[in-house]
Amino acid sequence: MNLESENSKKLTDFFGREYESLKWYVKTKISDTANRDAEDIIQDVALKLFSGADRYAPINNVAGFVYRSVKNKIIDVMRTTKKNEFGRR
């Protein structure tokens, strides 16, 4: 099995099993997020990971890889929200 299909399969299996847990994780990190916002964050991360799956080395710790990516996305969203709240001067 080639690297692309192996990483994609691991990601597909993980997102299939853990989608609700990922959604809960996002909601706990962004207290004022709506359900839709949590799903948007997860879907953005999934799209990025799947589109680059063939460029990664073999993913051994899929949970750590995905959760770290989600955490980074949350930080980006919070940073963007903070800039929008205070405006750019």
Q: What is the pTM of this model?
A: 0.80
In this predicted structure, the answer to whether residue 27 has a pLDDT above a threshold of 80 is yes
How far is the C-alpha of 5 from the C-alpha of 65, rounded, in Å? 17
Q: Would you say 26 and 33 are in contact if contact means Cβ atoms under 8 Å apart?
A: yes
Q: What does the pLDDT look like over 49-66, one tens digit per residue?
A: 999 888 878 889 999 999
The count of residues in the chain is 89
**List of residues 6+ apart from 30 with CB closer than 8 A:** 37, 38, 41, 74, 77, 78
Q: How far apart are CA 6 and CA 13, in angstroms?
A: 11
> In the prediction, which pLDDT does 89 show?
47
